[in-house]
Amino acid sequence: MPNPQSDLALAVDNLSLSLSGKPILKQLVLELSRGESLCLLGPSGCGKTTVLKCIAGLLTPDTGSIVVNGRLVAGKQSIPPQQRNIGFIFQDYALFPHMTVAENIGYGLSKLSKSDKAYRINECLQLVDLAGFGDRYPHQLSGGQQQRVALARALAPKPSVLLMDEPFSNIDAQLKRQMMAELKSIFKKANVSCIFVTHAKGEAFAFADKIAVMLEGNIAQFGRPMQLINQPASVAVAEFMECGNVLTAEQAKVLFPRLELTQTGSWLFKPEWIDIDSTEYGVRVKNIEQIFNGREYFVDITIDNDQLQSVKMVSQHLLTVGAIEKLVFRYNNTPYLIKE
């Protein structure tokens, strides 16, 4: 039975949905704690938007249940979207162009008296740092300001959960950083429980308290960002998250001949766990590619070996391609066994 006292803002259980005869969501389980920002992260087409639509009530799942703030909204009973107390921010913010900022924010507040409505609009304008902008129209605002109005409009009815679909995808990198920082501080101030969807790992790391990695209609792993990147639950997660080198015991032996990995499975060697020495013996190098990110080089070394073709590592220095013929590899951290 749903428990209204639980500290969960949202609980999705066993959610399945087929569209046009194709299974899109497969017994999906997801939980959101109050005041937390959860990122639903996955490749294009894995079903992220479909999950949001089911939570919002725009799609009806075939099986499973959705509980918002202790109340069952989908499952044995179905509550219509407008009664679910869920805020939704679409990718393009979708402000009403013919309404002022104040009218946009007040749109979902029709149940309030005139004075309560004006008070709440003012409160929300202050929350998003737009006090004094109430009489403007959307076209008189910058992109960042429009996004904050969309946020104020979604937060005005005090939703139990806020859903955001690719909220940062159309924004240039500099503004994105600033907007993420602003949003994060607004969310913490207002104790907002939020799920946002993206396929961009950088956005998830920068914004989310927790990440749910979604692959092919299911949650492949749920956890804190550091946990996902250091302890992936499967090879598929490790590959999607680009955690680093995923090697079998035999492949690891190519790089580290003295290493005994007795358990069978795949082992993660993160790029920053690997060091190299250029020597006269060791593994023969075929090619080195390196990309500088402003702080360090991401290095991709192609080696001359049948079992293992390439190794990823990071370096503080530019490696001299051509001058390096053979390498000895060392690891400076215990490899992680990916248990499947």
Tell me which residues touch ligand ATP (CB under 6 A): 19-20, 24, 42, 44-50, 199
Q: Is 106 helix (H, G, I), strand (E, B) or coil?
A: helix
Q: What CA dihedral angle connects 33, 39, 42 and 43, to 10 degrees?
A: 150
What minimum distance in Å lies between the beta carbon of 48 and ligand ATP?
Answer: 4
What minimum distance in Å lies between the beta carbon of 131 and ligand ATP?
Answer: 35
Q: Of 44 and 174, which CB lies nearer to ligand ATP in the complex structure?
A: 44
Q: Of 50 and 69, which CB lies nearer to ligand ATP in the complex structure?
A: 50
Q: What are phi and psi of 131, to 5 degrees?
A: -55, 135
Q: Of 53 and 176, which CB lies nearer to ligand ATP in the complex structure?
A: 53
What minimum distance in Å lies between the beta carbon of 44 and ligand ATP?
Answer: 3
Helix ranges restricted to H, the chain: 48-56, 101-106, 114-127, 143-155, 173-190, 201-207, 225-230, 235-240, 249-255
CA dist 331 and 340 (Å) reads: 23
What minimum distance in Å lies between the beta carbon of 167 and ligand ATP?
Answer: 13
What minimum distance in Å lies between the beta carbon of 43 and ligand ATP?
Answer: 7
The single residue listed with the structure tokens 């990440």 is: 211
Q: Of 149 and 164, which CB lies nearer to ligand ATP in the complex structure?
A: 164
The single residue listed with the structure tokens 């500099």 is: 174
Q: How is residue 209 annotated by DSSP?
A: S
> Which residues are within 8 A (CB) of 214 and not within 5 positions of it... i.e. 6 or more apart?
40, 41, 42, 46, 47, 48, 51, 220
Q: Of 49 and 245, which CB lies nearer to ligand ATP in the complex structure?
A: 49
Q: Of 24 and 195, which CB lies nearer to ligand ATP in the complex structure?
A: 24
Look at residues 171, 170, 152 and name the one whose alpha carbon lies nearest to residue 162: 152
Q: Of 48 and 201, which CB lies nearer to ligand ATP in the complex structure?
A: 48
What minimum distance in Å lies between the beta carbon of 165 and ligand ATP?
Answer: 8
Residues paired with 39 in a beta bridge: 196, 211
The single residue listed with the structure tokens 């598929």 is: 236
What minimum distance in Å lies between the beta carbon of 204 and ligand ATP?
Answer: 13
CA dist 312 and 200 (Å) reads: 21
